[in-house]
Chain A
């Protein structure tokens, strides 16, 4: 059972376009993380959101945690080829063990 659904799974856009990736669940999470992974490497943490309704910005990336802490979104403004990669969301059900549940990932390709 996939508790975190990411959409879309694949996205191919032109440089300069905007995009949004969604991470949805019927479960409540104590926190949610977004990671970015490049081929041949491990995922790298982009951001952690912990409060319902929280919005965090990282340069051209905007992350939002849903009010009910069941969903999250990642918005990229004016995408660049360097944004190409696999984006993963991961939710924590409890902060006692640090266990995370990962979405399937969104593969983003930004063409110059």
Chain B
């Protein structure tokens, strides 16, 4: 299994508070991705990174920002959490091709 960890694994927060989710990899893979998974929608790409300090938006990026200051860490920030951001968030990594390896996920509840 690819070495990917996500923290925290579960979080409950209130509307309007900032939240940061962390993805850490030990595989030295170039590409990293943040997805959200919701019933009926499958996995939707929020943001992705193709190298340190190189990031780009995915299909559902509104309300989210990311940072990648080191190869191994990719942070997802909700500046002001809303109830619509209640979801399960997955991080994924990829070396050079299309194949992605996923972390265990973070379940976020915004009250």
- On A, residues with C-beta under 8 Å from B are 30-31, 33, 35, 40-45, 48, 88, 90, 92, 95, 97-100, 102-105
Contacts and interface: CB of A to CB of B under 8 A. Distances in A.
A95 B97 contact: yes
Contacts of B44: 102
Contacts of A48: 97-99
Interface centre among A99, A102, A103 (most CB of B within 10 A): A99
Counting contact residues on chain B (CB < 8 A from A), the size range is 20 to 34
Interface in B19-57: 31, 33, 40-45, 48, 50, 56
Interface of B: 31, 33, 40-45, 48, 50, 56, 58, 90, 92, 94, 96-105
Contacts of B40: 104
A97 B99 contact: no
B30 to A, nearest CB: 8
B42 A104 contact: yes
Nearest to A32: B98
B8 to A, nearest CB: 14
Contacts of B41: 104
Contact of B97 (A88, A90, A98): A98
B98 A31 contact: yes
Contact of B102 (A42, A92, A95): A42
B90 A33 contact: no
A30 B105 CA distance: 27
A6 to B, nearest CB: 8
A33 B98 contact: yes
Contacts of B43: 43, 88, 90, 102
B45 A41 contact: no
20 contacts: A31-B97, A42-B105, A45-B100, A48-B97, A48-B99, A90-B100, A95-B97, A95-B98, A97-B31, A97-B48, A97-B50, A98-B33, A98-B96, A98-B100, A99-B33, A99-B48, A100-B100, A102-B42, A104-B40, A104-B42
